[in-house]
């Protein structure tokens, strides 16, 4: 059965390559104004398309006819890590979507890989063909050893570099979710969990690539694993294409008008940040009183769309001052500040003896968009789930 499936592998690779190249062109054209991270997504899709083409040339036997093409595309694969990192970082940031000088350092390794492969590229065509068919009578001269070492080192560095950038990208996403809590009372509509899933899928694929290149698969499993990974690779590309079409940078308006606060800062850094603030202790107490009135008396916590900006509009207090007071006086972020009022209101409804209100209804009543988010926030504040709290009472 596997032999029957293997005949479709070149077609699957071509399907992935064509999808990548089409989406790369689409994102590039759609990025005419240069004010979105789609340019980096276009670059990532283009290079990923080249990985499919490289695999196609190997599986279709094309390289055996033209062995000089072996490894020609390999250095371009080192662009995958920087491009996906730039895309994710700019999805979560307000900085300009440009390739500034600070980012040039990320292209050192792609250039270095060309230098490492230079000796291999200089091999005669007959020698490259002998390596492809794994002949035994290959001359082991110094020139040959240098070329092979360069090619092997390049193969080792590639998955390590890509996994490094995927880890960095995951760190950016974690910071992004923390920053959201400085501006929104609900973050369900703003989360980009699909990017975390993408990072996980890409990480698994490149770990498998590293195992294949460094150790190889057992003979009886090699075809099945290669076919499966290529098929999953195409699935990743279709997933990224669909999500990339729908996704836009979310924090732009909010973060452009506010200074993003680090979610976990030392006291020294917090004092330094607000050292030049004109806000006195008396002013802070007065603002805190207004915030409590807005949340408790005016019940703004019920608004599932409540944000730092809308609270500022309601209280006529600047967003910077609200952030400063919440961070300094209460040592928490906007998200936790609002959810404290929501949980307290939910606790009262959960202990209502006259009417047993469903947990989901309570969650919506106090401003949560989903039951899962409500359960997580409630347990974080009380140590119990809403159902457990109700039973205990």
256 C-beta neighbours (distance < 10 Å), count: 8
Q: Apex CA 226: angle with CA 223 and CA 228, to 5°?
A: 105
CATH 1.10.10.60 assigned to 334-393: yes
Classify the C-alpha dihedral 13-61-138-110 as positive or negative: negative
Confidence class for position 94, pLDDT limits 50, 70, 90: low
Domain range annotation of the chain: 2-254, 261-331, 334-393
Buried b (16+ CB within 10 A) or exposed e, 354-380: eeeeebeebbbebbbeebebbbebbee
Provide the pLDDT for residue 212.
Answer: 85
Percent of the chain at pLDDT above 90?
38
CATH 1.20.1070 assigned to 2-254: yes
pTM over 0.85, yes/no? no
Tens of pLDDT, residue by residue over 163-186, are 999 999 999 988 888 888 888 888
> Directed axis angle between helix 334-350 and helix 319-329, to 10°?
70
- pLDDT mean across residues, the chain: 84
Tens of pLDDT, residue by residue over 185-210, are 887 655 677 888 899 999 999 998 88
Q: Is the pLDDT of residue 213 over 60?
A: yes
Provide the pLDDT for residue 263.
Answer: 40
Q: Are 306 and 185 in contact (CB under 8 A)?
A: yes
Tens of pLDDT, residue by residue over 28-72, are 888 766 667 888 999 999 999 999 999 999 888 899 999 999 999
């Amino acid at each position: 059965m596997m032999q029957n499936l293997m005949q479709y592998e070149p077609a699957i690779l071509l399907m992935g390559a064509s999808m990548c190249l089409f989406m790369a062109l689409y994102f590039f054209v759609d990025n005419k104004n240069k004010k979105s991270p789609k340019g980096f997504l276009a670059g990532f899709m283009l290079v990923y398309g080249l990985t499919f083409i490289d695999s196609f040339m190997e599986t279709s036997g094309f390289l055996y006819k033209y062995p000089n093409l072996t490894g020609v595309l390999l250095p371009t694969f080192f662009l995958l890590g920087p491009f996906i990192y730039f895309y994710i970082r700019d999805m979560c940031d307000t900085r300009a979507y440009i390739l500034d000088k600070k980012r040039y350092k990320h292209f050192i390794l792609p250039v270095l890989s060309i230098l490492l492969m230079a000796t291999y590229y200089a091999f005669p065509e007959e020698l490259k063909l002998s390596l492809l068919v794994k002949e035994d009578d290959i001359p082991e001269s110094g020139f040959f050893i240098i070329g092979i070492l360069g090619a092997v080192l390049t193969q080792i560095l590639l998955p390590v570099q890509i996994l490094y950038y995927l880890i960095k990208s995951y760190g950016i996403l974690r910071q992004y979710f923390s920053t959201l809590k400085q501006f929104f009372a609900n973050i369900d509509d703003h989360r980009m969990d699909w990017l975390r899933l993408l990072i996980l899928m890409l990480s698994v694929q490149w770990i498998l690539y590293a195992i294949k290149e460094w150790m190889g698969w057992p003979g009886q499993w090699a075809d099945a694993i290669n076919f499966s990974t290529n098929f999953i690779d195409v699935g990743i590309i279709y997933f990224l294409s669909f999500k990339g079409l729908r996704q836009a940078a979310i924090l732009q308006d909010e973060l452009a008008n506010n200074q993003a606060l680090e979610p976990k800062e030392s006291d020294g850094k917090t004092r330094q940040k607000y050292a030049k603030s004109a806000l006195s202790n008396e002013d802070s107490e007065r603002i805190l009183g207004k915030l409590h009135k807005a949340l408790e008396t005016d019940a703004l916590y019920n608004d599932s769309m409540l944000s730092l900006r809308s609270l500022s509009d309601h209280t006529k207090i600047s967003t910077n001052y609200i952030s400063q007071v919440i961070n300094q006086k209460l040592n928490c972020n906007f998200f936790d500040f609002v959810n404290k009022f929501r949980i307290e209101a939910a606790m009262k409804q959960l202990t209502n003896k006259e009417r047993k209100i469903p947990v989901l209804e309570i969650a919506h009543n106090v401003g949560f968009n989903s039951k899962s988010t409500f359960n997580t926030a409630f347990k974080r504040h009380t140590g119990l789930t809403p159902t457990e709290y109700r039973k205990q009472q």
